[in-house]
Structure 1
Amino acid sequence: MTKSSDFNIMIVGQKGRLSYEAVLFAASLREMSPNFKGSLIVVEPQPGPKWSFDPTMNADVRAALIDLGAEILPFESRHFGEAYPYGNKIEGLSVLPEGEPFMFFDTDTLILDDLGKLDINFDHPAASMRREGTWPQEELYWDGYTAIWKSLYDRFDLDFESSLDLSQPDEYWRRYLYFNAGWFFYKDPAVFRERFLNWALEVRDNRPEELVVQSLDPWLDQVVLPLVIHSLGGGRPGPELDGLDGDVTCHYRMFPLLYARESDRVIDVLGRVTSPNKVKKVLKSHEPIKRMVYQGRGEKVRALFDQSNLPHREQQIRNKIKANGFWMR
């Protein structure tokens, strides 16, 4: 059984918003989980035919990441790149050390506490359950949840029935194995990447007919992820991982959403890890962080909502922030 506190963490560093989020992630990891013994690996897509611009991070960001203890590893975008940047989390796995347990986090994540509190069994992969029923989408001439998901399991010779949550009603989205790709883990990145990449390309390029009316952009990674996890003997995370998307990590997505809906603990940690001058000097170059965190716009967003009684859907939160002129991304 593969259980270790010495796993590698992977995040994606790319020019623009993701690079500043990477600095914030690294700062929160160093400050809030100082006993973490593994490596923080920032994978960075390199210029090439899949990009119309240079996707690499600027010198100040790179220096800040290295100063915070991160290792920056380049990778080549062979299959996705600019057309589908979510593919970075798939292709970037190629540069992680083979055979060493890893955990991927979306860059827009804060570490809130000691990662050693988590009881992670890397033999049984899992992923984030902080999601809404975003895919598949109900359409006029669609085949329904069961037919769509079963077609994917059949394509890869997987057992569909064992993936179902039978406590949920038939044709209700929660019955089917579906994750947010904000975090996932496994004992070997090479094995995970090969399956994730090959199956993502197969679904993208040769989709089952039941998926013809369904959009795969931006959902492709979240469509394929449950298939990969199920095939490797994993599934829905158990209570031992409640700290992920809980009191140990927070996937905040965007700064207006963070201030609108996250706990006071998250706000406190954000303030703490963005206050050192070395970090502040770099983060202030990013307009949303500058305005939301350092100039107080985030507190104005927070005042618009009762965090104990938030709207049920994220879109309602976004709309209210936009209506008040505070939206930034």
Structure 2
Amino acid sequence: MARNSTKNPNFNIVIVGQSGRLQYEAILFATSLRDNAPNFSGRFFIAEPQPSSRWEKDPRISNPDVRKLLEELDAEFLPFTNHLFGQSYPEGNKIELLSALPKGEPFIFFDTDTLITGELATVPFDFQRPSASLKVEGTWPKIELYGPNYAQIWKSLYDKFDLEFESTLDLSQPKDFWRRFLYFNAGFFYYRCPHEFGVRYADYAGAIRDDPPEALMCQKMMPWLDQIALPLVIHSLGGGRDALPPGYLDDEVSCHYRSLPLLYARESNRVIEVLEKVSAPNRVKRVLKQYDPFKRMIFQGRGHKTRALFDQSFLPRREQVIRNKIRKNGFWMR
């Protein structure tokens, strides 16, 4: 695969950082970014939701050792305020933080539970055409026996926002199969301007939550709301599933691992090497060991015991099956 970054403008990266697990995941993201993407020349932001009536407790990063280490890794803390979401739907942070990023500057959002495993400067982003992660299962919608089908549900959403629908279909997929319809994992997405993307994302997500089409009346929208609205936003801005060539994100250059037990169970040897290399320096290890799941999975060998439960060349197709086996053996931690 050719690796050519000559057309790649500078861009910013943003993840969410807050108290609890995410602050330790932010360390792994930051150390892997600095270790494996030395040619990344943009700004690296850690977006922090601020205390407000939307949160029961202060959501900001609570561990001063975490904050100090992230600052040493040249992370810039980006405060933002929740107006639509918060404690009731923390996934909405990825929507609301966009308005706090520098306007008019290309950006990539990554979920915090991501490792950078290669040089981001090689990725041929076209920031005029947004896209998002295709590492996704058919989590939404769930088709009821006598309810609307996939086409009726998705078309009702496009109609709600006066968007053309037919060109979003992947006609190589069966008519009643979920992959025929535009659906992304919100583990990463990008565009030329975070404000333009963020305003539309907030408008669409809020409208779907507050006034869903009739075809969605039997559908659960939480925690899928961000992924329901995302394809509509991307399509409305001229993007799609084919905007980014395969083999880069969710492959050679990044890994959205979701949780450390899943990482050890199903990811490549290369991903595990990256994880254990970037967590090995004493200044990093000292902070990560303060979080018990990371201490046990990375430093006390539970991760490799989890990996031994599976044949990585013949993994179950569904993530839930992997999760269940890990839980059954007492190795699930998050």
1:116 to 121, 126, 131: 121
Residue matched to 2:45: 41
Residue matched to 1:278: 283
Q: Which moved more, 1:4-13 or 1:43-52?
A: 4-13
SS at match of 1:48: coil
SS at match of 2:245: helix
1:292 to 297, 313, 328: 297
Residue segments in structure 1 that go unaligned for 5+ positions in a row: none
> Structure 2 CA distance, aligned partners of 1:294 and 1:187?
40
Q: Which moved more, 1:229-238 or 1:119-128?
A: 229-238
Q: Which segments of structure 1 move beyond 4 Å, counting only runs of 4 or more? A: none
> Structure 2 CA distance, aligned partners of 1:76 and 1:29?
26
> Structure 1 CA distance, aligned partners of 2:22 and 2:307?
23
Q: Which moved more, 1:17-26 or 1:138-147?
A: 138-147
* CA RMSD after TM alignment: 1.1
> Structure 2 CA distance, aligned partners of 1:3 and 1:48?
41
Following TM superposition, by how much is the alpha carbon of 1:141 offset from its aligned partner in structure 2, in angstroms? 3.2
Say whether 1:157 aligns with 2:162: yes
Residue segments in structure 2 that go unaligned for 5+ positions in a row: 1-5
Residue matched to 1:233: 238
Say whether 1:201 aligns with 2:209: no
> Structure 2 CA distance, aligned partners of 1:253 and 1:278?
24
CA contact (8 A) 1:127 1:237 kept: no
> Structure 2 CA distance, aligned partners of 1:65 and 1:90?
23
Following TM superposition, by how much is the alpha carbon of 1:3 offset from its aligned partner in structure 2, in angstroms? 4.8
Deviations 1:176-215 (A, max 9, x none): 0000000000000000000000110000000000000000
Residue matched to 1:245: 250
CA contact (8 A) 1:26 1:70 kept: yes
CA contact (8 A) 1:5 1:116 kept: no
> Structure 2 CA distance, aligned partners of 1:311 and 1:236?
25
Say whether 1:14 aligns with 2:18: yes
- So what's the TM-score if we normalise by structure 2? 0.96
CA contact (8 A) 1:84 1:218 kept: yes
CA contact (8 A) 1:44 1:73 kept: yes
Say whether 1:133 aligns with 2:99: no
Following TM superposition, by how much is the alpha carbon of 1:242 offset from its aligned partner in structure 2, in angstroms? 2.2
Residue matched to 2:70: 65
Identity %: 60
Residue matched to 2:147: 142
SS at match of 2:249: coil
Following TM superposition, by how much is the alpha carbon of 1:237 offset from its aligned partner in structure 2, in angstroms? 3.6
Following TM superposition, by how much is the alpha carbon of 1:241 offset from its aligned partner in structure 2, in angstroms? 4.3
- So what's the TM-score if we normalise by structure 1? 0.98
Q: Specify whether residues 241 and 96 from structure 1 end up closer, same or farther in structure 2 by C-alpha distance, changes over 3 A only.
A: farther
1:31-110 to structure 2, matched below 5 A, reads: 31-58=35-62, 59-110=64-115
CA contact (8 A) 2:126 2:244 kept: no
Following TM superposition, by how much is the alpha carbon of 1:300 offset from its aligned partner in structure 2, in angstroms? 0.0
Residue matched to 2:175: 170
SS at match of 1:245: helix
Q: Which moved more, 1:259-268 or 1:57-66?
A: 57-66
CA contact (8 A) 1:120 1:241 kept: no
